[in-house]
Amino acid sequence: MTAISLMDPSPTVLKPTDTISTAIQEIMQHRYRQVPVVAEDGSFLGVFGVNCLLKLVLPKAAIMEKGLTSEWHLL
């Protein structure tokens, strides 16, 4: 068995100009962990996935948690 026999020949892809919101919609709609990002000529640029979202959200969540913890200590 080969990779080509199992692959999706027409996968959902993102363009470099797509918004984060579009990327999230694609991930949620298709239940993907990652979506390839391709240039207009079809060349592969990379992947956008759940890990990218975590890198975006976790620092903000940590700041929020610290802020909330500080507030609770003030009470």
What tens digit of pLDDT does each residue of 26-70 get?
999 999 999 999 999 999 999 999 999 888 888 776 766 666 555
Q: What is the pLDDT of residue 58?
A: 82
Is the pLDDT at 25 greater than 50, yes or no?
A: yes
Domains within the chain, CATH numbers bracketed: 10-74 (3.10.580.10)
12, 28 Cβ separation under 8 angstroms = no
pTM given for the model: 0.71
Contact residues for 16 (Cβ-Cβ < 8 A; gap 6+)? 37, 39, 45
